[in-house]
Every structure is written in structure tokens, then in C-alpha cells.
Structure 1
Amino acid sequence: MTHPVPFPASLPSHSLDHWLSPELARVSPPNAPSRLRQLADAQGTLAAGWSSAIAGGPVLALAGAFFSATSGNPAAVLVLGALGAALLVLGLFSWKRVRATLPNTDRILITRGPGSARGGIVTVSVLAAMGGGILSLFLPAAAARGNATVVLLAGCFLLTLALLVACILVPSAVMGRARQSFRLRVQANPGLRSAVEADLATWRDPYGNAGYGPL
């Protein structure tokens, strides 16, 4: 009695270096789907979230120092400084881990902010202009109360602007360079490259005929 021989899995039609080619990416429509783009965009979205934590940590510490200086109470710098340091450390650790491993693309990641540095700059500029306009309405009354009130309002405005940069501009810049950064990391990180090559050997589009690349 003979046993059926399992049909061997088909080998990838192209190598990973072929799909990683910048020339191939340039001639492909940016919205054309591919597995590499799915991986890069998902990893970029996760990294963008942690980049906001990295940038937000120092902003919290700066806010604590400002409020302690204006109030004379050291509690603000102690509490917000500790929270900012913890957020920074957590962000750096998670940032490195996310960028060194393949993301789980089975989970749907939804982003509401801009997806490029230019979009982030425009969004932050508009919000800053709106905030500056509102602040200008209160400046005459603040000036009548003394310089300390003006300094407090101006400091709060600058801290708000720094928070907008940390939460909007920084992650949008990371997302805008997600594919280029993913290409560089795959080429420089042997562990990440091995994971992508293993994924290339087994992945098949479950919904259509999308290719593994370009990136």
C-alpha cells in the first residue's frame, strides 16, 4: 500500500531583495497593496504610537518644572517628572521592540491623525494658530493682573504647543517614513530579515493575487 506524497509548497517567485528594491517601489502606485507594505505600515503605526510616548515624556517633565517654578511647590516637578521619565523609558523600550519584530497584521490598526510630516506640520500649525488667537483675547486682562499671569498663560501655551508636536507631529513623521525605515531595518537587522524571509516563504494572499512586494 502506498501513501500519498504531500505536494510541496511552491517557492516564492522572487527573492526578498527583489521586493525590497527602491526602483520597484518607485514604479508601483503607492496605494497598490502588497504584503511588505502591510507589514511596514502596521509596524510604522505601532512605532508612531510609542514615538509619541518618547516625545511626551520630556514634555511632562518640562511641565512639572514650569508649574513648580511658577507656584513655588516642588510637588509638580516631582510627580510629573517621574511620570515623564517612566513614559520615556517605556516608550524607548517598546519602540525598539516593535521595530525589531514583525507586527501582527491580523489586528486592525486605525489611525486618526495625519500620515506624513507635512500633514503633521499643517495640523499643528492650525491648532497653534487657533490657540494663539484664543490666548490673545485674554492677554489684556492677564497683563492688568501683572507679569506673573502673562508668564503663566504664555508658558501654558508653549507647553500645549510642545504637546501637540509630541502627539501629532512626531508620530505623523514616523508614519510618513514607515516604508523607507522598514526597508533600511530589514537590510541592517539580520533577525528582522530572517523573520521577513520566513514570512515570504509561507505567505499567500488570502483574498486575491496581491504580491509580496513592492515596498
Structure 2
Amino acid sequence: MTHSIPFPADAPVHPLDHWLSPELARVSPPEAPSRLRQLADDQGALAAGWSGAIAGGPVLALAGAFFSVMSGNPATALILVPLGAVLTLLGLFGWNRVRSILPKTDKVLITRGPGSARGGIGMVSFLAAIVGAFLFPTLPSAASKGAGEVTVLVGIYVLMLALLTACIVVPATVMGRARQSFRLRVQNNPGLRRAVEEDLAGWRDPHGNAAYGPL
């Protein structure tokens, strides 16, 4: 006589690959909440912050080099170039770390910047136009003092655009691709996939009967 072992009543109804399906994500409204989307969005928000550091480091170093060349004093470069390198290295370390583990979701992450590349570009374009409206009318006066003055003003404007891109466009792009990027990493990173599968096995909606996915 054989006895069947009953399937645990609280076991996940669907495997992880079901919830990771791009087809399932396409038929679900993007704003519909799910545990898998929460993990992806929170991880994306953390990675976005570190991506700003990665992109901001070279801008900092470039600013140091520019002002040192324009002033003839290497002190600025000696300070800002190493700081930029350290910022980039810290950003890379944090970036790799947060993307390889599941984020803690017991606290709500609040992001106030744009959440897509298009939104980031639009915001930077708006800010650049405002700054340009104040800066460019001063170019004729600067030109009367010499080409160096014009170079400084244009250089400052370009550096400002680079900084805005590093701090706004790059993080916004990372956040906008958070769910697609999370799906790829879960599929290709055994450690992250194992962590998500463990979360799927143990997670239950504390407020109702919401499903684990889609992504």
C-alpha cells in the first residue's frame, strides 16, 4: 500500500519562472503591485544611487583637471582627481553589491527624481535651458575680457551638464530598466536566483492574497 505525500498547503502555486515571464509582465498593468516588482524596484533604486557615484567620479576628476589648467594651479586637480577616482570605486563596489543580493523591503524607499531615461533627459534639458538663459547673455562681456573668460564660462556650463547627467539621467535610466535588469540577473546569477526562490517559498502577502508576481 502506497501513501501519497500531500503537497504543502502553503507552498507556492507557481514556480519562479512563471512569475519571471516577460509575457506575463506585458499583460499586467505596470502599476499593479507585486512582491517581485517590489524587490526589483527597490534594488533598482539602490543601484541608481550608486550609479550616480560611478558617473559622478569622472565628472569630479574632469572638473579638477579643467580648473587646474585654466588657473595654472595643479592643486585643484591633485584634490579632485583622486576624490573622483575614490567616488567611482566606491560606486562600483556598492553597485555590484546591491545588485547581487535582495533588498530589505521592511522600509519604504522614497525616490524624488525621474524614473526613466526620458524623464531624466527632460529634467536635465529644462535645467540646462534655465542656466543657459542666465549664462549665455554674459558671453559678450566675457569675450571683451579675452578668450580665456569665454572658455571658463563654456567649460563651467559643460561641466554642469555632465554633473546633471551623472546625477539625474544615469540614475533615472537605471531605475527605468530596474525590472528588465532584475529579470536578467535572476536568470544568469545562480546566487541571486536562489535568494529569490527562497523568498518565493517563504513570502506571503501580509495584507491579503496578492500573488508573488508578475515582474
Indicate whether 1:25 and 2:25 are aligned: yes
TM-score (norm 1): 0.95
In the alignment, which residue of structure 2 is the partner of 1:5?
A: none
Distance 1:129 1:208 in 2: 48
Question: What is the CA deviation profile of residues 176-215 of structure 1, one whole-angstrom value per residue up to 9, with x for unaligned ones?
Answer: 0000000000000000000000000000011122210000
1:81 Cα shift?
A: 0.4
Question: What is the CA deviation profile of residues 55-89 of structure 1, one whole-angstrom value per residue up to 9, with x for unaligned ones?
Answer: 00000000000000000110111100011000000
Distance 1:198 1:118 in 2: 35
TM-score (norm 2): 0.95
Alignment of 1:53-68 (within 5 A): 53-68=53-68
- 1:30 maps to amino acid: P
In the alignment, which residue of structure 1 is the partner of 2:4?
A: none
Distance 2:31 2:93 in 1: 31
Distance 1:25 1:115 in 2: 18
In the alignment, which residue of structure 2 is the partner of 1:84?
A: 84
- Helix, strand or coil at the partner of 1:39: helix
In the alignment, which residue of structure 1 is the partner of 2:183?
A: 183
- 1:87 maps to amino acid: L
- 1:204 maps to amino acid: R
1:9 Cα shift?
A: 6.1
- Helix, strand or coil at the partner of 1:101: coil
In the alignment, which residue of structure 1 is the partner of 2:204?
A: 204
Q: How many residues are matched?
A: 208
Question: What is the CA deviation profile of residues 99-156 of structure 1, one whole-angstrom value per residue up to 9, with x for unaligned ones?
Answer: 0000001121111110000101111111111111111121121111111111000000
- 1:168 maps to amino acid: I
Distance 2:213 2:32 in 1: 9
Percent identical = 72
Uncovered stretches (5+) of structure 1, i.e. residues with no partner: 1-7
Indicate whether 1:45 and 2:45 are aligned: yes
Alignment of 1:143-154 (within 5 A): 143-154=143-154
- 2:158 maps to amino acid: L
Distance 1:131 1:114 in 2: 19
- Helix, strand or coil at the partner of 1:145: coil
In the alignment, which residue of structure 1 is the partner of 2:138?
A: 138
Q: Which moved more, 1:179-188 or 1:137-146?
A: 137-146
In the alignment, which residue of structure 1 is the partner of 2:161?
A: 161
- 2:61 maps to amino acid: A
The runs of at least 4 consecutive aligned structure 1 residues that moved more than 6 Å come to none
